[in-house]
Amino acid sequence: MLVAYGAAGMAGGAVPSNAGWSQPRDGVRILVESNGVHTDLVLPKVAAGVDWRDLLPGDDLADPRYAGFDHVAIGWGERTFYLETPRWSDVKPLTVLRAAIGSDRTVLHVEHIAPPAAADDAREVVLRPDEYRRLAAFIRASFAGRQAWHRAGYGSNDAFYQARGRYSAIETCNAWTGDALRAAGVRIGVWTPFPVTVLGWFAPPRHPLRDAT
């Protein structure tokens, strides 16, 4: 069953939606990054008429000074799975199984960060202003609201917020990232349950020394 699920996920990730989309030369620069388990969308706090500072204030952080950073990294997922698995080494099979069966206890994880450089695990994507606004609208609609549950995150610069949506083996944290990009009009797989099915759509940065060999 796991082999079939993996094969289906890779197949879904290879079939394009928004097939005619291409990156513009100029626009809003975002990144899609992965820690090997979860994917995040790294967004400027203020761009194209979108301002995240009202929804994601520094007071929600263990150390509000980190709100001085000008980007946020946002990901969605199942509450217990997210809280307990910041890295692959923290993954517990029972936690994964419970999440895969289905859960309405979903959260958004938000980090306040400086913009990272593009890397193999952080792919740059350039969006037109209207595409970025559609992406932002999708993400905002995933928040349950300021009156809902939230708590400090793994460290001093991040927090968790109650989210809308149901997590399952079909709608994973990485599938949500794909859904958000698809809503913006970006070329992405029709189903992206794994990190590789998200990042694989965007070119890795060039490494001059490595590429010359």
List the chain domain ranges: 2-211
Tell me: pLDDT of 212 over 50: no
Handedness of CA 90, 56, 186, 80 (dihedral sign): positive
What phi-psi label fits residue 102: left (phi over 0), alpha (psi between -120 and 50 degrees) or beta? left
Tell me: pLDDT of 207 over 60: no
Nearest CA-CA partner of 41 in 200, 199, 156, 207: 199
The answer to whether 99 touches 196, Cβ cutoff 8 Å, is: no
The pTM assigned to this predicted structure is: 0.90
Q: How many CB atoms lie within 10 A of CB 194?
A: 22
Buried b (16+ CB within 10 A) or exposed e, 94-103: ebeeebbeeb
Cα torsion through 177, 173, 46, 130, rounded to 10: 20
The predicted-structure confidence for 69-82, as pLDDT tens digits, reads as follows: 999 999 999 988 78
Residue 47, Cα to own-chain centre: how many angstroms? Answer: 18
The predicted-structure confidence for 127-178, as pLDDT tens digits, reads as follows: 999 999 999 999 999 999 877 888 889 999 999 999 999 999 899 999 999 9
The predicted-structure confidence for 23-45, as pLDDT tens digits, reads as follows: 999 999 999 999 888 899 999 99
> Average pLDDT of the chain?
89
Tell me: pLDDT of 117 over 90: no
Query: pLDDT above 90 covers what percent of the chain?
Result: 69
pLDDT score recorded for residue 210: 45
User: How many whole angstroms separate alpha carbon 88 and alpha carbon 66?
Assistant: 26
Q: Residue 101 — very low, low, confident or very high, per pLDDT cuts 50/70/90?
A: confident
Tell me: pLDDT of 208 over 60: no
Tell me: pLDDT of 85 over 70: no
